[in-house]
Amino acid sequence: MLNALAFPSLGWWPLAWIGTPLILLSLVGRSVKSALLVGAGAGAVFWGMHIFWLTVYLGPAPWAALVMLQTLFFGLFCTLIALAWRFTDRAGNHWWLRYLIAPAIIGGLWVARETVTSTWPYGGFSWGRLAFSQSESPFGDLASWVGATGLSFIMAAMSAMFAQFARHTRPVSLPRNVGIAAVALTVVVSVPSFPVVTNGTLRVGAVQGNADAGLFSRPAPGEILDNHIAASEPLVGQDADVVVWPENASDIDPLRNNPAARALTRISEQLGAPLITGTLTQSGTDDFNSLLLWDGEGGAVDQYDKLHPVPFAEYLPDREFWTPLAPELFSLIPRDFTRGSRDNIFTVANLRAGLAICFDIVDDALIRQMMADGAQIIISPTNNADFGRSDQSIQQLAIARIRAIETGRSVVNVSTVGVSAIIDPSGRTMTQLPTFQPGTMLANVPLSDTVTPATAAGGRFDAIPTLIGLAGLVLTGVITRLRRTPSMSE
In this structure, are 166 and 284 located in the same domain? no
pLDDT of residue 484: 63
Residue 6 lies in a domain: yes
In this structure, are 29 and 100 located in the same domain? yes
Residue 488 lies in a domain: no
Yes or no: say if 454 and 154 are a contact pair by the CB < 8 Å rule: no
In this structure, are 189 and 220 located in the same domain? no
Side chain identity, residue 387? F
Residue 88 lies in a domain: yes
Which pLDDT tens digit goes with each residue over 289-317? Answer: 999 999 988 899 999 999 999 998 889 89
Residue 322 lies in a domain: yes
In this structure, are 345 and 225 located in the same domain? yes
pLDDT tens-digit profile, the chain (490 residues): 899 999 998 999 999 999 999 999 999 999 999 999 999 999 999 999 999 999 987 788 889 999 999 999 999 999 999 999 999 999 888 888 999 999 999 999 999 999 999 999 998 999 999 999 999 999 999 999 999 999 999 999 999 999 999 898 777 667 777 777 777 888 888 889 999 999 999 999 999 999 988 767 788 999 999 999 999 999 999 999 999 999 999 999 999 999 999 999 999 999 999 999 999 999 999 999 999 999 988 899 999 999 999 998 889 898 888 888 888 778 878 889 999 999 999 999 999 999 999 999 999 999 999 999 999 999 999 999 989 899 999 999 999 999 999 999 999 999 999 899 999 999 999 999 999 999 999 999 999 999 999 999 988 788 899 999 999 999 999 988 887 645 544 4
In this structure, are 343 and 388 located in the same domain? yes
| 300 bridge partner residues | 294
Element (H, E) at 187: helix 174-189
Compute CA distances 434 → 44, 81, 241, 250, 438, whole Å. Answer: 32, 42, 24, 22, 9
In this structure, are 176 and 213 located in the same domain? no
In this structure, are 229 and 291 located in the same domain? yes
In this structure, are 45 and 186 located in the same domain? yes
Which pLDDT tens digit goes with each residue over 347-397? Answer: 999 999 999 999 999 999 999 999 999 999 999 999 999 898 999 999 999
In this structure, are 135 and 213 located in the same domain? no
Domain range enclosing 38? 2-194+458-482
Angle at 383 between CA 381 and CA 387, to 5 degrees: 145
In this structure, are 401 and 271 located in the same domain? yes
pLDDT of residue 427: 97
Tally the domains of the chain.
Answer: 2
pLDDT of residue 173: 66
In this structure, are 148 and 175 located in the same domain? yes
The helix/strand/coil state of 11 is coil
In this structure, are 181 and 278 located in the same domain? no
Residue 489 lies in a domain: no
For residue 419, the domain's CATH number is 3.60.110.10
Taking Cα atoms as reference points, which of 151, 206, 225 lies closest to residue 411?
A: 206
Residue 17 lies in a domain: yes
Q: What is the DSSP string of 120-132?
A: TTTT----S-GGG
Residue 487 lies in a domain: no
Please tell me what DSSP assigns to residue 149.
H
